[in-house]
Chains A and B, each alone.
Chain A
Amino acid sequence: MTLFDELRPVVEGGGRAVVFTIIAGDQLGAKVLVREDGSTVGDGPAELAALAPDALRAGRSHLIEHGDSTLFADVFGPPPRLLVYGAIDTAEALCRAAKLLGWTTIVADARARFATAERIPSADELLVVWPEDALAQVQPDLGTAIVVLTHDDKFDVPMLIGSLATEAFYVGALGSRRNQERRNELLRDAGVAESDVGRIAGPCGLDIGAESPAETALSMLTEILAVRAGRSGGRLKDAPRRIHAEPATGKK
């Protein structure tokens, strides 16, 4: 088995691994594949395995100066996940757009009539569950964005409280400004810290004049991308900084 043959099931299965390649120095081209469980394959120095935990945590491919050599750490990991609570038409539009980016999409709703494959064909996973169970099943991590579309306190409040207790890189909620303020009061009453209330993107989306569900979905998804890259999401022609972002650590 070649190193490529060993890497392939990791890539196809959305697992985590790092491939170190010596791109300058002795043993040019030598490689070591390190899987998340620490097992290694390859003709490169075995000691490189010690660099793997940091490289995996960084979540993106990068160069490492190592003694007299330069290493390329090629980091492989699962694509970002989008968790949508509320199986309304905008949920389908959001999933369809996220699939274009290669993301994994999950839609949850407690109402079985809403959460059907006919209504939401673009969801990789459909869960008929209450918010607490949705979060328990999905286990949002640093690579997960959560959007709450239910517009109903009995779903929104527990979903937001639960989401803010995770490492999700984005937590967004639909709703007018007045509705957001009223709901945020409920969150504060429930003991949510002000800094966590401030994490909520609400009303979610960029100000692009979106009207239809598909436009609204794009508005949200572009905000999610901007947050992930640490950008504000304005027009490039007005931006003072370089165009291409380095994705933020751990959010590849």
Chain B
Amino acid sequence: MKELLPDIDRWRSRGEKVALATVVATRRSSPRPVGSKLAVSESGELAGSVSGGCVESDVVLAAQEVLAGGAPRLLTYGITDDMALEVGLPCGGEIDVFVEPLE
């Protein structure tokens, strides 16, 4: 969290809202531990990571929906996911990511 603060401050000082995605659970192997965070600005800038790049592009879409007024969302990624070919995890694990507005 601490390492995300400078970017979050910069975005908020520009008047942008920020969404936060957090790894809340992992099953089998996973690239980032529980608690890892990705912050997404309204204009689509990123800080931090939830998977080392494997699923970030999809998380960003969800983050922008949340910032547009959508409800917080719990997303699951992994090899059992039908999106596996597009946004799967190379480790063969599964992660749950909670996406919410930062407030």
Interface residue ranges, A against B (CB under 8 Å): 2-4, 7-8, 11-12, 21, 23-24, 28-29, 60-63, 72, 74-76, 242-244, 246-247
Let me know if B22 and A243 touch, CB within 8 A. Answer: no
In the complex, chain B residues 3-22 whose Cβ is within 8 Å of any chain A Cβ: 5, 22
Q: How far is the CA of A3 from the CA of B26 in the complex (A)?
A: 26
Q: Provided the pairs A4-B103, A23-B98, A242-B28 are in contact, do residues A29 and B72 lie with their beta carbons within 8 angstroms? A: yes
- Max count, chain B CB within 10 A of own CB: residue among A12, A21, A75: A21
A–B complex contacts, Cβ < 8 Å, 23 sampled: A4-B103, A7-B1, A8-B5, A11-B1, A21-B98, A21-B100, A23-B72, A28-B72, A61-B24, A61-B34, A63-B24, A72-B22, A74-B35, A242-B28, A243-B29, A243-B91, A244-B26, A244-B30, A244-B33, A244-B91, A244-B93, A246-B33, A247-B33
User: A72 contacts which of B5, B24, B93 (Cβ < 8 Å)?
Assistant: B24
Which residues of the other chain, B, contact A61 by a CB distance below 8 angstroms?
24, 34-35
Which residues of the other chain, A, contact B30 by a CB distance below 8 angstroms?
244
Let me know if B33 and A72 touch, CB within 8 A. Answer: no
A93 to chain B, nearest CB (A): 24
Let me know if B71 and A23 touch, CB within 8 A. Answer: no
Interface SS majority for chain A:
mixed
Q: Does B102 contact A (CB under 8 A)?
A: yes
Interface SS majority for chain B:
loop
Mask of B66-103 contacts with A, CB within 8 angstroms, 1/0: 00000110100000000000000001010010101011
Q: What range describes how many residues of B lie at the interface?
A: 20 to 34
Q: How far is the CA of A74 from the CA of B1 in the complex (A)?
A: 11
In the complex, chain B residues 23-41 whose Cβ is within 8 Å of any chain A Cβ: 24-26, 28-31, 33-35
Let me know if A28 and B71 touch, CB within 8 A. Answer: yes
B4 to chain A, nearest CB (A): 9
Let me know if A29 and B2 touch, CB within 8 A. Answer: no
Question: Which residue on B lies nearest to A71, using beta carbons?
Answer: B24
User: A4 contacts which of B26, B33, B35, B102 (Cβ < 8 Å)?
Assistant: B102
Let me know if A24 and B26 touch, CB within 8 A. Answer: no
Question: Which residue on A lies nearest to B2, using beta carbons?
Answer: A11
Q: How far is the CA of A75 from the CA of B35 in the complex (A)?
A: 8
Question: Which residue on B lies nearest to A76, using beta carbons?
Answer: B1
Mask of B38-60 contacts with A, CB within 8 angstroms, 1/0: 00000000000000000000000
Let me know if A12 and B34 touch, CB within 8 A. Answer: no
Question: Which residue on B lies nearest to A2, using beta carbons?
Answer: B103
Question: Which residue on B lies nearest to A13, using beta carbons?
Answer: B2
Q: Provided the pairs A23-B98, A75-B35 are in contact, do residues A63 and B25 lie with their beta carbons within 8 angstroms? A: yes
- Max count, chain A CB within 10 A of own CB: residue among B25, B28, B98: B98
Which residues of the other chain, B, contact A29 by a CB distance below 8 angstroms?
71-72, 100
Q: How far is the CA of A247 from the CA of B5 in the complex (A)?
A: 24
